[in-house]
Amino acid sequence: MIRSTGRIRVTHQGTLPKPDDVRQMVLDKEAGKPYDAAAYNARLVAATREAVQLQLDAGIDSINDGELSKVLFSSYINDRLTGVQTRESLPTDPRRRGVSDRDNQQFAAYFNSRTGFTGQIAPGGSRTVCNGPIAYQGQAALQTDLTNFKAALQGFTVEEAYLPAVAPGTIEHFIQNDYYPNAEAFLFALADAMHDEYKAIVDAGFVLQIDDPDLPDAWQMYPEFSLAEYQKYATLRVDALNHALCGLPEDQVRFHMCWGSYKGPHNYDLPLRDFIDIMYRVNAGSYSIEATNPMHEHEWVVFKDHPLPGGKFLIPGVIGHANDFIEHPELVAERVIKYANLVGRENVVCGTDCGIGSRVGHPAIAWAKFRSMAEGARIATKALWK
């Protein structure tokens, strides 16, 4: 993975704005509607080339395919696993848990008045369940993503290219286990399957980004947990992830976590200090953290008492998705410099809190944020290498 040698490097954490026609094509395919596979792939390659150009023009050093082929960062995996089925909800199904459940206990009136993604899960509807042995069957779909991205990169000079894939613990959030005897067996079955996807991405020459909002957001999902119970829960999920990463070089893996990314109070988010040492157990070369929102921006100081492990580097979010404000480059630089002064300038790469392509009000806002991030990195570079 690239590091900030000589200057602060810039990346982002996932989804990019989709052109309207691509969004509709992906939704139609997900819904099972008939489509022309050749035309679909040709449009995806063209749209991905556009995304590559836009990322480079915005000053981003480590780029991805924008996740243009995915409806969501997590649900794409359902079709790539055997033993997974979507069915109608049953009265005997367990209650759905949401990533704002602790907040909902205090702010129920707020949540009842809101629309959009608030982290709450409506009752009823359909359930995605595991009803048989889990195995990886997504080879063809993954190969299409790899081939399309390689085709889109042709003719460009790119310092680094990466692809995201979802972590076993986060998959567990969205697939109800109706087959395996316990959560541990289910998690490690998911880990065995996901190893195939992770390895294929690395073998194709891309950096692998592990998306794992589960690591901290499960604290909200299980309001009954004590801190010790949560830490035991999180440790098991890191063990499963490391099992899935077995044999892959750490310097080709970056780990991304956030606090669920829902727009709401986040009053009961788990503090970083309460799980940072569990995060450090992930076999990855870098750690990407949500760091700009009002509940977590102050947590840069946590790295004073919990130093970054040797040889690793940090990708703090320096622009966010929680609102449509465009961060001033000087503010971006301030954020970078605070981290650099703690962990070393070569150990900080600019990132985003989460994938912002679908989280801000318009694509123009997303790209303006990226340009501001790159300018902030240039300002920080001048200050840190003067």
Which residues, in sequence order, are CB contacts of 340 under 8 Å at separation 6+?
8, 347, 348, 380, 384
Domain count across the chain: 1
Q: Kindly state whether residue 30 falls inside one of the protein's structural domains.
A: yes
Q: Kindly state whether residue 153 falls inside one of the protein's structural domains.
A: yes
Of residues 143, 146, 198, 140, the one with CA closest to residue 167: 198
Which tokens is 154 given?
A: 């042709």
Q: Kindly state whether residue 3 falls inside one of the protein's structural domains.
A: no
Exposed e or buried b per residue across 203-225, where buried means at least 16 C-beta atoms within 10 angstroms of its C-beta: ebebbbbbbbbbbbbbbbbeeeb
Q: Kindly state whether residue 78 falls inside one of the protein's structural domains.
A: yes
* C-alpha distances in Å from residue 309, one per residue of 205, 220, 282: 25, 27, 11
Q: Kindly state whether residue 256 falls inside one of the protein's structural domains.
A: yes
The pLDDT tens digits along the chain (386 residues) read 999 999 999 999 999 999 999 999 999 998 889 989 999 999 999 999 999 999 999 999 999 999 999 988 888 999 999 999 999 999 999 988 999 999 999 999 999 897 755 556 655 689 999 999 999 999 999 999 999 999 999 999 999 999 999 999 999 999 999 999 999 999 999 999 999 999 999 999 999 999 999 899 999 999 999 999 999 999 999 999 999 999 999 999 999 999 988 889 999 999 999 999 999 999 999 999 999 999 999 999 999 999 999 999 999 999 999 889 999 999 999 999 999 999 999 999 999 999 998 889 899 999 999 999 999 999 999 999 98
* C-alpha distances in Å from residue 307, one per residue of 267, 312, 330, 347: 26, 10, 26, 12
Query: Nearest 5°: phi and psi at 317?
Result: -65, 125
Quickly tell me which residue has 């909902």 as its tokens: 104
Q: Kindly state whether residue 36 falls inside one of the protein's structural domains.
A: yes
Which tokens is 258 given?
A: 């956030």
How large is the angle between the packed helices 227-244 and 214-221, nearest 10 degrees? 140
Amino acid letter for position 305: D
Which tokens is 232 given?
A: 């035991």
What is the DSSP-derived secondary structure letter of residue 324? Answer: S
Q: Kindly state whether residue 4 falls inside one of the protein's structural domains.
A: no
Residue 93 domain boundaries: 9-384
Count of CB atoms within 10 A of residue 251's CB? 14
Q: Kindly state whether residue 112 falls inside one of the protein's structural domains.
A: yes
* CATH number for the domain that contains residue 273: 3.20.20.210
